């Protein structure tokens, strides 16, 4: 966490659902001030080129957003993840994992 942003990596793609898991943990999100029910600005970069950019709701469960909605949540390892409610986030945006895939989170200005 530095300069109002967190930078991590895409570590795992959930093969069943296409959710994107990162190595950004709950403690860093709290330090940045991200709260459940709020929003977070997300950028995913591959080899320093933006592949995805959006302001997404940060929720506890998939049921908190309508079907087809993109969202951020904490996975079972308490790390920031991205999903589409009943969709495949990785396939929809052409996202893969590994050290060349960076995730940058920024708290939106109030």
DSSP string, the chain: -BTTEEEEEEEEE-TTT--EEEEEEHHHHHHHT--TTSEEEEEEEETTEEEEEEEEEB-SSGGGS-TT-EEEEE-TTSEEEEEETTS-HHHHHT---STTEEEEEEPPP-
pTM reported for the whole predicted model? 0.94
pLDDT at 75 over 90: yes
pLDDT of residue 60: 97
What's the pLDDT tens digit per position in 18-57? 999 999 999 999 999 999 999 999 999 999 999 999 999 9
Using pLDDT thresholds of 50, 70 and 90, give the confidence band for residue 6.
very high
Edge-to-edge strand list for the sheet holding 39-46: 49-57, 39-46, 101-106, 5-13, 20-25, 79-84, 70-74
Compute the average pLDDT of residues 63-74: 97
């Amino acid at each position: 966490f530095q300069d109002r942003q967190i930078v991590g990596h895409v570590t795992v793609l959930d093969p069943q659902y296409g959710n994107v898991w990162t190595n950004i943990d709950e403690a860093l999100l709290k330090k940045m001030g991200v709260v459940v029910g709020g929003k977070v600005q997300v950028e995913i970069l591959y080899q320093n080129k933006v592949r995805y950019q959006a302001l997404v709701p940060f929720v506890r469960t998939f049921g908190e957003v309508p079907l087809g909605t993109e969202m951020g949540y904490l996975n079972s390892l308490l790390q920031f993840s991205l999903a589409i409610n009943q969709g495949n986030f990785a396939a929809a945006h052409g996202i893969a994992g590994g050290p060349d895939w960076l995730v940058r989170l920024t708290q939106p200005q109030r």
